């Protein structure tokens, strides 16, 4: 049986099967939210969320909590199956679509090893600095500044992190130092 979070926005009720968010005092700042419900409720709830307003989420046996997106939001998928609609919204630019100049991204996976691997490949695509895959552990510990995020959903959402890094010039200095000190080979 699939577990869902109840999402209430101004009297409209939908459900969520996937959520990645930062825990803040009194609520959550969402990076990814997958809404499921009737077409009318999805349109109303997503309009409220896209307009910058918050909603309330709850799980069975847990108190309600405020949820809102921080920054701009984009819809990355809307799918209708019979009378049910699934709409996935993400915080832009934390889920880039081949943009250059990004320095923060959300990575997620079934376990920490998969997350670290994905973090390396996201970083490798975002920087002009030549990197080696065997540096991924060092990058995770010394460069990425990983922040563990709240995640809810299937197996692929067991671990979620926000990773950030400095500008290429600073990174290049860190990498050159790592190579000269022989902890990067």
- Rounded to an integer, what distance in angstroms lies between the CA atom of residue 31 and that of residue 90? 5
Q: Would strands 73-81 and 84-91 be described as parallel, antiparallel, or unpaired?
A: antiparallel
> What token pair was written down for 167?
């500008």
- Rounded to an integer, what distance in angstroms lies between the CA atom of residue 107 and that of residue 95? 8
**Residue tagged 């996201």 (tokens):** 122
Q: 9 near 53, Cβ under 8 Å?
A: yes
> What token pair was written down for 168?
């290429």
**Predicted TM-score (pTM) of this structure:** 0.88
Reported as a pLDDT band with limits 50, 70 and 90, residue 1 is: very low
- Rounded to an integer, what distance in angstroms lies between the CA atom of residue 30 and that of residue 182? 40
Reported as a pLDDT band with limits 50, 70 and 90, residue 172 is: confident
Residue ranges per structural domain of the chain: 5-91, 104-180
Encode 26-59 in three state secondary structure.
CEEEEEEEEEEEEHHHHHHHHHHHHCCCCEEEEC
- Rounded to an integer, what distance in angstroms lies between the CA atom of residue 136 and that of residue 165? 13
Digit-coded pLDDT (tens) for 90-128:
988 787 655 556 678 999 999 999 999 999 998 888 888
3-state SS class at 169: helix
């Amino acid at each position: 049986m699939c577990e869902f979070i109840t999402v209430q926005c101004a009297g409209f009720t939908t459900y969520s099967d996937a959520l990645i968010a930062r825990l803040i005092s009194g609520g959550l700042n969402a990076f990814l939210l997958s809404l499921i419900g009737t077409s009318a409720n999805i349109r109303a709830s997503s309009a409220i969320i896209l307009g910058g307003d918050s909603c309330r989420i709850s799980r069975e046996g847990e108190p309600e909590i405020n949820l809102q997106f921080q920054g701009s939001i984009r819809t990355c998928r809307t799918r209708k199956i019979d009378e049910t609609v699934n709409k996935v919204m993400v915080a832009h630019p934390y889920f880039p679509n081949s943009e250059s100049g990004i320095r923060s991204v959300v990575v997620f996976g079934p376990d920490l090893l998969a997350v670290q691997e994905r973090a390396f490949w996201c970083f490798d695509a975002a920087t002009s600095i030549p990197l080696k895959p065997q540096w991924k552990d060092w990058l995770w510990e010394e460069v990425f500044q990983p922040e563990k995020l709240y995640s809810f959903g299937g197996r692929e959402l067991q671990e979620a992190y926000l990773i950030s890094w400095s500008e290429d010039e600073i990174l290049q200095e860190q990498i050159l130092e790592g190579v000269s000190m022989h902890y990067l080979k």
